[in-house]
């Protein structure tokens, strides 16, 4: 058996160190590239992206394929054509991490809330580890009385993964509240792209044209469900019309 010399061990150590340095450099490069991309998106929402978001952005990007869907039951589907397709769903009660913001623009409120939730998901929680991403993230909105615009206050909600439903990790951020949300019955319709006050109001109007006159759902409160992060250009979204309590299972 050939003996391993001390010189050989030194060489292996140097190679391992060089490999580690290269990995660190590549990670830093990826971190910077992703941050720059997200910063561009944040600027379109008139939001400043803090440097400490680079870590959560990198972590969530690397886990982007492992997303747990929020559980639900499909009650009915209406698919006469793709443009007019919608469905009815029932979502059971569950625990959500929620942030409420009332910035001048809808985009600012959801961006700032989602950044807080990203920090919570990635590390700023009582267990100190990555919790896992669930979809969709919900944004609860309210129309002003005239129905021509949105009220400033928006509630952004992230569903706790199944393993944390019984014992949710405590957020370090006092603005994040863990809430038990009641069962929800909704009528949903898909749309794609950025979510702004203008696009949301348009989608609500189009959905009402499809449904026609009905008192089954609320007319002042809606939910915008988002399935991809803000860096995805044509991300999938849904408008949820919320059924009244007597319509719940």
Contacts of 74 (CB under 8 A, 6+ apart): 87, 88, 89
pLDDT tens for the 249 residues of the chain, in order:
556 666 665 666 666 555 566 777 777 888 788 888 888 888 888 888 888 888 888 888 888 778 999 999 999 998 877 777 899 999 999 999 999 999 999 999 999 999 999 999 998 999 999 999 999 999 999 999 877 899 999 999 999 999 999 999 999 999 999 999 999 999 999 999 989 999 999 999 999 999 988 889 999 999 999 998 877 778 899 999 999 975 443
pLDDT score of 122: 94
CA–CA distance, 249 with 244 (Å, rounded to integer): 11
Please answer whether residues 30 and 57 qualify as being in contact, where contact means their C-beta atoms are separated by less than 8 angstroms: no
pLDDT score of 167: 96
DSSP of 95-164: EEEEEEE--SSHHHHHHHHHHHHHHHHHT-BTT-S---EEEPEEEEEEB-TTSSSB-S-EEEEEEPPGGG
pLDDT score of 105: 94
CA–CA distance, 135 with 226 (Å, rounded to integer): 7
| Residue 155 exposed, middle or buried by CB count within 10 Å (0-12, 13-18, 19+) | buried
171 DSSP assignment: B
Q: Which residue has the tokens 């319509």?
A: 247
Closest C-alpha among 42, 184, 27, 183 to residue 115? 42
Q: Per the structure block, which two tokens stand in for 216?
A: 């089954």
Q: Per the structure block, which two tokens stand in for 66?
A: 């492992």
CA–CA distance, 222 with 86 (Å, rounded to integer): 15
Closest C-alpha among 110, 160, 99, 109 to residue 135? 160
Fold held by 67-247: Multidrug-efflux Transporter 1 Regulator Bmrr; Chain A (3.20.80)
**pTM of the model as a whole:** 0.85
pLDDT score of 10: 67
CA–CA distance, 95 with 20 (Å, rounded to integer): 40
Q: Kindly list the domain boundaries of the chain, sorted by start residue.
A: 6-52, 67-247
């Amino acid at each position: 058996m050939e003996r391993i010399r001390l010189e050989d061990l030194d060489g292996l150590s140097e190679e391992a160190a060089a490999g580690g340095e290269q990995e660190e450099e590549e990670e830093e490069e990826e971190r910077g590239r992703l941050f720059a991309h997200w910063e561009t998106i944040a600027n379109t929402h008139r939001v400043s992206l803090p440097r400490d978001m680079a870590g959560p952005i990198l972590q969530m990007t690397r886990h982007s394929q492992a997303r747990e869907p929020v559980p639900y039951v499909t009650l009915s589907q209406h698919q006469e054509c793709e443009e007019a397709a919608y469905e009815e769903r029932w979502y059971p009660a569950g625990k959500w991490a929620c942030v409420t913001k009332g910035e001048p623009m809808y985009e600012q409120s959801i961006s700032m809330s989602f950044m807080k939730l990203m920090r919570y998901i990635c590390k700023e929680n009582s267990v100190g580890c990555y919790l896992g991403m669930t979809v969709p993230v919900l944004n609860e909105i309210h129309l002003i009385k005239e129905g021509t615009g949105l009220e400033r206050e928006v509630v952004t909600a992230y569903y706790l993964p199944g393993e944390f439903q019984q014992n949710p990790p405590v957020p370090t951020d006092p603005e994040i509240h863990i809430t038990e949300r009641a069962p929800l019955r909704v009528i949903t319709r898909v749309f794609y792209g950025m979510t702004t006050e203008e696009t949301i109001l348009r989608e609500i109007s189009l959905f009402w044209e499809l449904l026609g006159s009905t008192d089954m759902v609320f007319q002042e409160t809606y939910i915008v469900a988002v399935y991809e992060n803000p860096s995805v250009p044509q991300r999938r979204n849904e408008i949820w019309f919320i059924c009244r309590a007597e319509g719940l299972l």
